[in-house]
Amino acid sequence: MSDSTEMKKGWSRNQMAELAAHDIPDGSCVNLGIGIPELVAQYVPEGREFLYHTENGLLGMGPTPESGEEDPELINAGKKPVTALPGASYFHHADSFAMIRGGHIDVCVLGAMQVSGNGDLANWSTGEVDAIPAVGGAMDLVQGVKNIFVITTHCTKTGDAKLVEACTYPLTGVGVVSRIYTDLAVIDVTPEGFRVNKLAPGVSFEEVVEKTGAPVLPAA
Amino acid sequence: MDKRIQSVSEAVADIQNGSTVMIGGFGEAGSPIELIHALIDSGARNLTVVNNNTGNGEVGLAALIGNGQVRKMICSYPRSSHSKVFPELYRAGKIELELVPQGTLAERIRAGGAGIPAFYTPTTVGTPLAEGKEVREFNGRKYVMEPWLQADYALIKCETADHAGNLTYNKTARNFSPIMCIAATTTIVQARKIVAPGDIDPECVVTPGLFVDRIVQVAEPLQESKLIAEGVSYP
């Protein structure tokens, strides 16, 4: 990895995205959330092919167009310009969410505010009185897509744990997350709770335990 | 059955105060900006508007809201980098919001057009958005009951229409438009091109003309993001 943060302890955003990309099987239909999850598309392993779904009505989404080639009527769920690859299809919103809710999408990678040890996800609202609530397609995605991966920093900017015993923010879904990629570790959500799958370079199991707000089991 | 209307103002002239209006579009993609501006000119007030978002800048849907014509928004994502009109009114308690997950919003609209008064979805189970709603178990899994959504009018942008109202769309500008066409009593469409019957291959029709009542040509629609970049506000 040629990332400038290579020598630092832990994984960078790009490295977390690369790890997630490596866990997606060849031929998967994938929906990427807005933010860090979008980076996953840059790290498709050699020899694998993913089909990207964007909930605003495109299957077979390609990369960002060249400057000057943007089409305001060809965008992704984050409302950014994208391209359509050969073999792509357009469809209306009810069909798009039939793909999602009907279990036809294999993997969705999302960001998180909090994840609990039983896989509850909170990623749409801080619940503050003054906040404008906005949910988009997140609640449909977590219920319908077969595997929900989360990419997030292990702690908030102020050092609070994002992996917790029980979410304090309003939930997006109950028991929906299967795997979490943080800057410190890859962590699976198992029937026994959080379990380390892989530690980042220079990070000890003890540090992960200390920075997690719920019990964590060592790698099996 | 020629459904052509001469002007956008004529096309929206009968929209009454208190109407429920579905407006197609996902952000600016597919937003019928000329029809929305005609609705602003018409002055109809106390509207309930169904759209995925709440508009950007001070044009299109954001201008309709900013002009005080909307009583209530039904949407999934009332936030964006350029949306300031809705958040200000919402924080001031001057506009109502019904927040609906995007897939549930789409299915409620589809159900409304298809004559299905309610359905069960796994979306929102165990979250604050399921509070007060009927929950039922099917095959050991919980589902929330959601009602259909219907409207008096739909305002739609399409790429090509024929005289009978058969429609095709452009790329991801399709989004909510085909389902809104079926869920509204009166569907009003602005089309970039209007062609003679037979010029759209029946195999390629996305919205059958049965669901469309009025079509008006807007050959070169305004582009919302361009207007915002230029600092334009409507009216």
Nearest-CA distance from A200 to chain B in Å?
33
In-domain check, residue B141: no
CA atoms within 13 A on the CB side of B193: 10
Please report the pLDDT score of residue A6 as a whole number: 47
In-domain check, residue B126: no
ipTM, two decimals, is 0.96
For A24, the domain range is 15-217
Q: What torsion, rounded to 10 degrees, do the Cα atoms A117, A123, A125, A127 define?
A: 10
Average pLDDT, chain A: 94
Count: domains in chain B:
1
Contact B101/A136, CB-based, under 8 Å? yes
Nearest-CA distance from B4 to chain A in Å?
24
Please report the pLDDT score of residue B227 as a whole number: 96
Nearest-CA distance from B229 to chain A in Å?
14
In-domain check, residue A3: no
Of all residues in chain A, the one with the smallest CA distance to B30 is A73
Whether the predicted pLDDT of A139 surpasses 60: yes
In-domain check, residue B230: no
Rounded mean pLDDT, B92-116: 97
Single-letter amino acid code for the residue at A24: I
In-domain check, residue B101: yes
In-domain check, residue A2: no
For B172, the domain range is 8-118+150-223
Catalytic annotation, pick one of A18, A46, A55, A192: A55
Calculate what percentage of chain B has a pLDDT beyond 70.
Answer: 100
Contact B87/A132, CB-based, under 8 Å? yes
In-domain check, residue A1: no
Count: domains in chain A:
1
User: Which CATH number covers residue A25?
Assistant: 3.40.1080.10
Whether the predicted pLDDT of A2 surpasses 80: no
pLDDT tens figures, B140-162: 999 999 999 999 999 999 999 99
Please report the pLDDT score of residue A130 as a whole number: 77
Please report the pLDDT score of residue A7 as a whole number: 56
Q: Which residues in chain B are closer than 8 Å to A90, comparing Cβ atoms?
A: 169, 171-172, 174
> What does DSSP assign to residue A166?
S
In-domain check, residue B231: no
Contact B122/A101, CB-based, under 8 Å? yes
Contact A101/B28, CB-based, under 8 Å? no
Whether the predicted pLDDT of B128 surpasses 80: yes
Of all residues in chain A, the one with the smallest CA distance to B79 is A134
Whether the predicted pLDDT of B165 surpasses 90: yes
pLDDT category of residue B9 using cuts at 50, 70 and 90: very high
Rounded mean pLDDT, A174-178: 97
Contact indicator for B171, A61 with CB cutoff of 8 Å: no
Q: Which residue has the tokens 């993609």?
A: B29
Contact B76/A136, CB-based, under 8 Å? yes
Is A55 an annotated catalytic residue?
yes
User: Which CATH number covers residue B55?
Assistant: 3.40.1080.10
Whether the predicted pLDDT of A127 surpasses 70: yes
Whether the predicted pLDDT of A59 surpasses 70: yes
Q: End-to-end CA distance of chain A, in Å?
A: 27
In-domain check, residue A7: no
Rounded mean pLDDT, B94-110: 98
In-domain check, residue A36: yes
Rounded mean pLDDT, B41-57: 97
Calculate what percentage of chain B has a pLDDT beyond 90.
Answer: 97
Q: Which residues in chain A are closer than 8 Å to B76, comparing Cβ atoms?
A: 134-137
pLDDT tens figures, A64-97: 999 999 999 999 999 999 999 999 999 999 999 9
Rounded mean pLDDT, B62-76: 97
Q: Categorise residue B217: left if φ over 0, alpha if ψ from -120 to 50, beta otherwise.
A: beta
Q: Which residues in chain A are closer than 8 Å to B173, comparing Cβ atoms?
A: 73
Contact A171/B103, CB-based, under 8 Å? no
Whether the predicted pLDDT of B167 surpasses 70: yes
Least confident of A34-48, A83-97, B60-74, B178-192: A34-48
In-domain check, residue B74: yes
> Which of B74, B170, B175 to probe by mutation at the A interface, max A CB count within 10 Å?
B175
